Amino acid sequence: MSHNLFKTFAKRMRERATANFITTREERNYTYQDALDTSAQLAGALTQLGVKSGDRVAVQVDKSPEAILLYLACLRIGGVYLPLNTGYTSDEICYFLSDAEPALFVCRPAAADEARTIAAQTGCPAVETLGTNADGSLMEKSQRAEPRNDIVALGERDLAAILYTSGTTGRSKGAMLTHRNLASNAATLVEAWHFSAEDRLIHALPIFHTHGLFVACNVTLMAGASMLFLAKFDADIIFAELPRGSVMMGVPTFYTRLIQDKRLTPEVTAQMRLFVSGSAPLTAETHEAFKAKTGHAILERYGMTETNMNISNPYEGERRAGTVGTPLPGVEIRITDRQTGKAVPQGEIGMLQIRGPNVFIGYWRMPEKTREELLEDGFFITGDLATVDEQGYVHIVGRDKDLVISGGYNVYPKEVEQVIDELEQVAESAVIGLPHPDFGEGVTAVVVPQRGTHVDETTILGYLEGRLAKYKQPKRVFFVDSLPRNTMGKVQKNELRKRFSGTYQTA
C-alpha cells in the first residue's frame, strides 16, 4: 500500500474535477482537473531535470498558484519539497543549498543569475525559475515535457518536505516531515474544523511556512474546498472578499489590523463561519475586541514547524481567549519539569512535550540535535512553557529562553547576535523580544560598544541589511555599558526585558 500523500489528494481532486481549487483576484483560476493536469506536466519537467524520488527540490519564489502545483508535482514523484522564505539573503540560501544538497533550485526569474552563482558554489546541479504569472523556465519546460500521470508508491516514513527552522546555536535545522505526518494532520484538521467542499478559504499567508502551506493548502485539498489566493494581507482586499469567503486563516497581526478598521462589522463577516489564528500568540484583548465587533470568536490553535498542528480551541464549544485549546485527536501532550523531564502536577508550568502521528522524524543530518529534542518514547520537546487548566485547555505562558516570534516568524536571538558581534565597534550584544502591538513581539538588540569606539543604531541596522532576512532585523537598538549576568556568567535577558519594557507601546 502506498502512503504517498498525493494519492489521497488525487482521489479527492478527481471527485471535484470541475470545481475551483485556486482562484486569484486577477482571475487566473485552476479547477481541480487543471491542477491534476498541470502538476503532471510539472512532474514531467522535474523528471526531465533529473529529480528522482527522495531528491530535494529547494524553492524560493513569490506566492503563486503554480508554486502550489509545483509542491504537488514533488509529492507525485516522491520528491522532497523544501520551501525557503522569500526574505532569505544569498548567504542564507548558500547555507540551505549546501546543507540540503537539492537536485534542483527553483527561484524567482529576477534572481536567476545570483541563484546560478550560488548553485555553482554549493554543487546544486540545476536552477530553474518560476514567476507569479505562470511564467519562468520551469513552466516553459513543463509545457514541452511528457506529463507524468503516475503516482510514485511511498512508505509512510518517506519524506514529503523539509522545513528549516532556526536554532538557538545559530544555524537553521531542517525538520523532516513525512507523508504520514502531513496526511494525518490534514485529515485531523478537516474533521476538527468542519471543513467541507463548500468552503472558500481566504488565503493571505505566505506559502514557505507551515501555516500557509500545510495547514491551509493541505486542508483545502483534503476537503475538496477552494482557496482565494492573495499575494499578501491587504485590508481593502480582505474586506472586499469577506462576503464571498467562509474561512480565513491568519496571524494575530491580521486581526489587530482588521479591528482598527471601521469596516469590520457583523454584516461584512456574516457569510464567514471560521476565523483561525496561529503562528504567534493571540492576546485576549484582540480575541475579545474581534468578537465584540463581529460576533465571531477567533479559533486559536498551536503548532510548530516540526509537528504542524497539535492543539486547538474547539469548533463547537468555548473558544477561550488566552488559550490554544486542547490536544487534537491522536495527539498526546505532557508538561514536564524543565530540569528533570518528569511530569509536573496539573496546573503547574513546565515544558510542553508532544507525541503523535504529526510529529516529524528528526532534523536533517543532525542526529545529535534529533536525540536531544525527539525522545526515545516519541515525545518531542517543544521548547515552549505551558500549563493545563482544570478543563484541559492549554495555556502557552512563555518560550524557553530565547525564542522571539515577530509577525508570526520565529527569530532566534543567537543568530542575530552573531552578525551584530561581527562589527568591530561591538563588544557584545543580546537580542530579546519585547511586546509589540502589531507584530506580537518586536526584535530588539541591546549592544555593549567596544571601549573607545562609537557606534549608533543606524550603523548597526545598516550593517544587518542584506545579511539577515528583514523579519530577523531589530526594530530598535539600545546601548548599555554592560549586560546583566548571574553568578555563572550567563546574560540575564529577563532583566533586559524589564528594563526596556514598554518600548513599543506607542509603536
Q: Which run of H or E residues covers position 106?
A: strand 104-107
Of 382, 167, 406, 413, the closest CA to residue 281 belongs to 406
Q: How confident is the model at residue 252 (pLDDT cuts 50, 70, 90)?
A: confident
Domains of the chain and CATH, by start: 5-191 (3.40.50.12780), 233-399 (3.40.50.12780), 404-499 (3.30.300.30)
Q: How confident is the model at residue 167 (pLDDT cuts 50, 70, 90)?
A: very low
Q: What's the confidence (pLDDT) of residue 170?
A: 56
Q: What's the confidence (pLDDT) of residue 506?
A: 59
Residue 168 has pLDDT above 50, yes or no: no
CA distances from 68 to 36, 229, 325 (A): 12, 11, 30
Of 224, 227, 184, 232, the closest CA to residue 206 belongs to 232
Q: What's the confidence (pLDDT) of residue 418?
A: 82
- The answer to which of 60-69, 132-141, 217-226, 485-494 has the lowest mean pLDDT is 485-494
The residues that bridge with 409 in the sheet, in sequence order, are: 406
Query: Model confidence over 117-161: pLDDT tens digits?
Result: 999 999 999 999 999 999 999 999 999 999 999 999 999 999 999
Q: What's the confidence (pLDDT) of residue 487?
A: 40
Task: Classify residue 346 as exposed, middle or buried by CB count within 10 Å of its CB (0-12, 13-18, 19+).
Answer: exposed
Q: How confident is the model at residue 475 (pLDDT cuts 50, 70, 90)?
A: very high
Q: What's the confidence (pLDDT) of residue 367?
A: 96
Q: What's the confidence (pLDDT) of residue 488?
A: 37
Query: Model confidence over 269-289: pLDDT tens digits?
Result: 999 999 999 987 787 888 999
Q: What's the confidence (pLDDT) of residue 396?
A: 86
Q: What's the confidence (pLDDT) of residue 412?
A: 73
Q: How confident is the model at residue 494 (pLDDT cuts 50, 70, 90)?
A: confident
Angle between helices 5-15 and 65-77 (to 10 degrees): 120
CB atoms < 10 A from the CB of 391, how many?
10
CA distance 87 to 100: 18
Inter-residue contact 363 to 186 (CB < 8 Å): no
Q: How confident is the model at residue 169 (pLDDT cuts 50, 70, 90)?
A: very low
Q: Please give the distance of CA 150 from its chain centroid, rounded to a whole number.
A: 30
Query: Model confidence over 13-49: pLDDT tens digits?
Result: 999 999 999 999 998 899 999 999 999 999 999 999 9
Mean pLDDT (whole number) for 212-241? 97
Query: Model confidence over 348-360: pLDDT tens digits?
Result: 988 999 999 999 9
The C-alpha cell that represents 180 in the structure block = 504520514
Query: Model confidence over 431-460: pLDDT tens digits?
Result: 999 999 999 999 999 999 998 999 999 999
Average pLDDT in the chain: 93
Q: What percent of the chain clears pLDDT 70, i.e. is strictly above it?
A: 97
Query: Model confidence over 303-334: pLDDT tens digits?
Result: 999 999 999 999 999 999 989 999 999 999 99
Q: What's the confidence (pLDDT) of residue 130?
A: 98
CA distance 201 to 224: 11
Q: How confident is the model at residue 399 (pLDDT cuts 50, 70, 90)?
A: low
- The answer to which of 379-388, 394-403, 450-459, 473-482 has the lowest mean pLDDT is 394-403
Mean pLDDT (whole number) for 189-201? 98
Q: What's the confidence (pLDDT) of residue 398?
A: 64
